[in-house]
Chain A
């Protein structure tokens, strides 16, 4: 059975300028122990997707519908209180973008890492903090940091602490939203190694969201490309890097420099689409050099050509 099965997920926001279709009919599956990387430009809806899965909805939500099945349980049908008690952090946890501000400045680091244990597992505080300390050590931080405040930690340390916080309840799924974007390259590498180790030793399932393709290549089993609120391609990692099918993915790959091969870098013309008024038909057609007539008129369905791709080229 699949660990996570998302079908027709939609998340729209109300704004003064109109309705933003941030997540527009997204579907994908994930097996236990798999890492799904979601890549895309800024503003394509990846963060909104992560929020949609963990139900962190803003005040101005317009539409929130679809189906999210976790281990056979339908998450969408749960009421808020049940969701809070049973799903939040016990089944799904999250490492936020800009994790540097994810920690409460007036609470000690150790307490914040232990907090989910106290709340959800009803653990005694002392014991929970002990567990937190163990976890910190496993992630490469000295256990004295548990007694410190967030402002006393460097960026990389905070990130590890936040990851510890996400791990401590052994959730089935961890979503990481651009966890390394704000860090220097070396720390980035360290964190990626740590994640790889976790994946291996715990069979941890990850959803990894990033705009930087090169970062995902080490961790991902599957890669999904997101564009204008939709997933346009989901491929196994190797296929994604070697033979991407969707024109957008192809362009993305062409824009990333490689270390060993000679490569002419290309950029993608045009600007990211407006999520309030996306282009008609296939949303990528204005920037696609392979666009056909039908692309302007009709939104393509998802075709299976070995892996899923949403493009009229593969009819």
Chain B
């Protein structure tokens, strides 16, 4: 069976990307071990817990100090062996690697999911949708504003709105989370109209529509913060981008041919521009998820970013590694999907021409 050249290219890329996820995961594990420091924390944690358990247990009340200490020591050793901490780190790191890649992310040290489970995978699965909800909404809104605003301005190059956009684009040098702080100050501290954080009112409304509206209310400020931040620069970049594409020779040729303006915009400007547009959109979405940590902390939004911040505060290494691995997978997956889409859109790739 002849494999079409597109499929060959894609399969090769899938392998390469997977290899990279492996490398990034291993790197994360190495870093997260912090030179053995984390191990020390875990071990002292174990010692503390065991000592507590032993002194609280009435069974052991009668023991002498020496006997108790020996017992504690033995229990600690058992626990260490149970957790696999007696093996040297290099070997353990490979075990962690395998676990990480198969998304068997283990148990957290402190954090729990809403249901009380310590399973890192569950914790992540519980929080990831919230991050996706918030940031994808913001990214889509920004993308659409940028696209249509940029298209409009490229057609009306040099107009007042055009100049206004250029002059106001420095406002985008300030990141969304910063605007978030300012918006909270204005709309909560000063005006008291919008909530300062969280995802729903407390206590959460029972009825689905009310719940949905409550979530929406809590999404207003964070989404607005990012929209304000990206607004002008996004329109500006799209405008420049479309200007480049609309000054291409084949666009002029199409105009000469008498192709109606709406078709020119669709077929001669947008279509060829699609690959870079799609790429930047996809990466914007994925990067917005992994950059969520600060925004979610500012807004106390119960997503993966805030979970990461909490895990870091608790030195909860399994969660830290788990989240980082999940993000790496997401980025790799997006890259891969993009390459598939590219293959469909760009005829040069379909023909198997590499290195475009």
Neighbour of B348 across the interface among A115, A116, A149, CB < 8 A: A149
A28–B351 Cα gap in the complex (Å)? 49
Neighbour of B253 across the interface among A84, A87, A102, A119, CB < 8 A: A102
Which B residues lie within 8 Å of A165 (CB)? 257
Chain A: which residue is nearest B353 at the CB level?
A151
Determine whether the beta carbon of A96 is less than 8 Å from that of B258.
Answer: no
Neighbour of A59 across the interface among B158, B249, B268, B348, CB < 8 A: B158
**A105 in the interface (beta carbon within 8 A):** yes
A116–B263 Cα gap in the complex (Å)? 12
- One digit per residue, 1 when the CB lies within 8 angstroms of any chain A CB and 0 when it does not, for chain B 241-256 equals 0000000111011111
- One digit per residue, 1 when the CB lies within 8 angstroms of any chain B CB and 0 when it does not, for chain A 77-116 equals 0000000110111100110101001111111000000011
Which A residues lie within 8 Å of B258 (CB)? 84-85, 87-90, 116, 119-120
Determine whether the beta carbon of A89 is less than 8 Å from that of B158.
Answer: no
**A54 in the interface (beta carbon within 8 A):** yes
- One digit per residue, 1 when the CB lies within 8 angstroms of any chain B CB and 0 when it does not, for chain A 148-163 equals 0101100000000010
**Chief secondary structure at chain A's binding surface:** mixed
Determine whether the beta carbon of A106 is less than 8 Å from that of B249.
Answer: no
A38 to chain B, nearest CB (A): 18
Determine whether the beta carbon of A104 is less than 8 Å from that of B257.
Answer: no
Determine whether the beta carbon of B253 is less than 8 Å from that of A106.
Answer: no
Which B residues lie within 8 Å of A115 (CB)? 257, 259
B243 to chain A, nearest CB (A): 11
A93–B259 Cα gap in the complex (Å)? 12
Q: How many residues of A contact B (CB 8 A)?
A: 29
A84–B345 Cα gap in the complex (Å)? 30
Determine whether the beta carbon of B347 is less than 8 Å from that of A104.
Answer: no
What 6 pairs across the A-B complex have the smallest Cβ distances?
A: A88-B258, A101-B249, A102-B253, A149-B347, A104-B250, A84-B258
- 27 residue pairs of the A-B complex, CB under 8 angstroms, read A56-B255, A84-B258, A84-B260, A85-B258, A88-B256, A89-B256, A93-B256, A93-B257, A94-B253, A102-B253, A103-B253, A104-B250, A104-B267, A104-B268, A104-B272, A106-B272, A106-B274, A106-B345, A106-B347, A107-B271, A119-B257, A119-B258, A119-B259, A119-B263, A152-B351, A162-B253, A165-B257
A residues near B (Cβ < 8 Å) are: 54, 56, 59, 84-85, 87-90, 93-94, 96, 98, 101-107, 115-116, 119-120, 149, 151-152, 162, 165
List 6 other contacts, CB 8 Å, given A54-B256, A105-B347: A88-B258, A90-B258, A104-B254, A116-B257, A119-B257, A119-B263
